[in-house]
Amino acid sequence: MSDARAATAGALGAAVALGTSELVAAFGSSLPRLVPAVGDLVVDASPGDATQVAIEAFGTADKPLLLGGIVLTSLVIGALLGRASVERRWVGPVGFAAFGLLGVWAGAQAVGASLVGAVVVAALAAGAGIGTLALLLAAADGRLAAGWHRFVGTGQLRSPAPPGRPGDVSTVPASAGEDRPGPPPGPIEWPTDPSSSRRAFLGAAGVAAVAAGGAALGGRALRGRSTVETARAAIVLPPADLGPQAPLPPGFDIEGLAPLQTPNDAFYRIDTALTLPQVDPAGWRVRIDGLVDEPFELTFDELSALPLVERSVTIACVSNEVGGRLVGNATWLGVPLVDLLDRAGVRPEAAQVVGRSVDDFTAGFPLDHLRSEHPALVAIGMNGEPLPVRHGFPARLVVSGLYGYVSATKWLSSIELTTWDGFDGYGIPRGWSKEAAIKTQSRIDVPRSGRSLVAGTQPIAGVAWAPGRGIRRVEVRVDDGPWLDAELSDPVSDDTWRQWLVRWDAPPGDHTITVRATDGTGDTQTEQYSDPPPDGATGWHSVSVSVA
């Protein structure tokens, strides 16, 4: 048996195991998907630096790439197990069983999964992998073809030559009757025709590949439109108080410029969930507890029945680079967080608000931040519709002025009041700052760096944000020329980004365009560049263009 066939057998065994796990997991909410479950362990074990590198390199594609990496690693390990099984047939089954145990460990920690469910998925997946490996190894060394010939009776018996006739072979059809002369006594061997063995292996490998792909696609089809999406689609959002903010103005109509309101499907998503938690609003509860006088819980219907407000708030990820796209503005519908805390009765020693997700992600921020007049909501709506599942349905926290890793808890399950030193959220042990106010930032959207322009009037446009402080001024500089004041879009509130525009009479040549913003307190963003860790990037955004 060649090493290539053995390795292919092992890789296909791993593929069938993975496909089986996806298919089985689609039959119940307590049955975990093993690949994402293992990925969650990788994410939780990764240091903050590794997470930042992944976001910088891949942006919002980091999760699919991680899952793809886990699948590829599994196939490689399967190939190694296949090669090792040529000499020691026990290696493959033991290796697949070991991966089954890893699946049980990871799956049991997945959101909504049970230990029994994890055992069922892992056992069936490992069994399918072991069976596939055994079948393909049998095909690779000719045993499968020989067994088929034996079954249908088309093979021929071969035996050693009788004494005195070295090298001669006595042959009779396998179906010969007892009254005909047969081969002399001796051990019986079945022929191992190389072409027959190759055909058998290729056929079995093709069946295994189709089975792996079919199982994975079947699992996806069975999951289909989840019951959670169906429940979300049935929700009718109640009316809300618009408060002091102005309606969204039309803004500047410049192709390539970010709109004042980021569409839900274009809004960035950065979180630790490799698979979206599926939280049925019918059974959902949010609990307010910790250092409060009267802890309580609310159902989704009870939360929705409270007085709601609608606020336009810009939020940003701390991993956003200067000029990056991990920032967006949306109109959020929800209950003011201070109303819920007032109902619970916050104790004097409380200093930190901690949000906890259904998947145990945590984010904590200073209680004093809520004493400002800027929005802090338990949000149930986004841009006029119920929260999308990928953005935290059925409810999440939205806190103006703070980076998401300390405030924007999605798939909210509880809000706890604690002391400042009594708890550290998810990102703090990974090297991020515990206090994380969003920096004043500006970005050039038009033109993009590297573009070629035509001489004459050209728009330079972008957005600037300083949630909680607002944007007072934006300036643009071309090369080493003077700073030019940009025209600003009408303000919505201090919590919302503003578009800006400069109409540039572009001369031929290569040029560098730079932008800086001044917030509502009069502070101008610093030119000094710093990477996002530990509390957000700083620096001026620049682009280079050629004008012909």
pLDDT in tens, 94-117: 999 999 999 999 999 887 788 999
> 154 or 195, which is more confident?
195
Mean predicted confidence (pLDDT) in 193-197: 63
Numbers of helices and strands, H then E, in the chain: 11, 19
- At residue 164, the pLDDT reads 45
pLDDT interval class at 189 (50, 70, 90): very low
Structure tokens at 33: 């998907």
Question: By C-alpha distance, which of 484, 477, 491, 482 is closest to 520?
Answer: 491
What local confidence, expressed as pLDDT, does residue 215 receive? Answer: 92
Burial 436-466 (b: 16+ CB within 10 A, else e): bbbbbbbbbbbbeeeeeeeeeebbbbbbbbb
473-488 pLDDT, tens digit each: 999 999 999 999 999 9
At residue 423, does pLDDT exceed 90?
yes
Smallest CA-to-CA distance from 331 within 313, 358, 349 is with: 313
Q: How far apart are CA 303 and CA 287, in angstroms?
A: 11
**Averaged pLDDT, 356-369:** 95
- pLDDT score of 59: 67
pLDDT, average across residues 232-250 = 86
**pLDDT at position 64 over 90:** no
Residue 153: the pLDDT is 52
∠ CA 92-97-98, rounded to 5°: 100
* Section 25-48 average pLDDT: 84
pLDDT surpassing 80 at residue 141: no
pLDDT confidence bin for 79, thresholds 50/70/90: very high
456: pLDDT confidence band, cut at 50, 70 and 90?
very high
**Residue 165: per-residue pLDDT:** 43
Percent of the chain, pLDDT > 70?
87
Over residues 436-463, mean pLDDT: 97
> For 511, how many CA atoms within 13 A lie in the half-sphere containing its CB?
27
- Residue 358 token pair: 């259904």
Work out the average pLDDT over 160-177.
44
Three-class HEC string of 46-75: CCHHHHHHHHHHHHHHHHHHHHHHHHHHHH
Q: What's the pLDDT at 249?
A: 87
Name the more confident of 49 and 405: 405
Residue 225 is predicted with a pLDDT of 59
Q: Binning pLDDT at 50, 70 and 90, where does residue 161 land?
A: very low
What pLDDT is attached to residue 196?
64
Contact 78, 11 (CB under 8 A): yes
The predicted-structure confidence for 429-443, as pLDDT tens digits, reads as follows 989 999 999 999 999
d(CA 178, CA 159): 17
pLDDT at 16: 95
Mean pLDDT within 112-123: 91
pLDDT reported for residue 219: 86
pLDDT value, residue 166: 44
Close Cβ partners of 385 (under 8 Å, ≥ 6 residues apart): 237, 264
pLDDT bin (cut points 50, 70, 90) of residue 169 is very low
pLDDT of residue 175: 44
Residue-wise pLDDT for 497-545, tens only, equals 999 999 999 999 999 999 999 999 999 999 999 999 999 999 999 999 9
- pLDDT above 90: percentage of residues in the chain: 67
Residue found under tokens 């540039």 = 504
Entry pTM: 0.79
Record the tokens describing residue 541, joined without a space.
Answer: 């955004």
Confidence of residue 158 (pLDDT cuts 50, 70, 90): very low
Q: What is the pLDDT of residue 60?
A: 65
Of residues 318 and 171, the one with the higher pLDDT is 318
Q: In what order do the strands lie in the sheet with 487-488?
A: 441-446, 456-465, 498-506, 487-488
Question: What pLDDT score does 144 carry?
Answer: 53
Convert the pLDDT of each residue in 297-348 to its tens digit. Answer: 999 999 999 999 999 999 999 999 999 999 999 999 999 999 999 999 999 9
Q: Are strands 396-399 and 487-488 parallel, antiparallel or unpaired?
A: unpaired
Question: Is the pLDDT at 224 greater than 80, yes or no?
Answer: no
* 64 or 318, greater pLDDT: 318
What pLDDT band is residue 402 in, cutting at 50, 70 and 90? Answer: very high
**Mean confidence (pLDDT) of the chain:** 88
Q: How confident is the model at residue 39 (pLDDT cuts 50, 70, 90)?
A: confident
DSSP labels, 388-402: PGGGTTT-EEEETTB
**Do 330 and 392 touch, CB atoms closer than 8 A?**
no
CB 65 within 8 A of CB 55: no
* C-alpha 88 chain-centroid distance: 38
Pick the residue with more confidence: 39 or 460? 460
Pick the more confident residue, 48 or 306: 306
What pLDDT band is residue 86 in, cutting at 50, 70 and 90? confident
Flag whether pLDDT at 78 surpasses 70: yes
Q: What is the C-alpha separation between 475 and 526, in angstroms, rounded?
A: 13
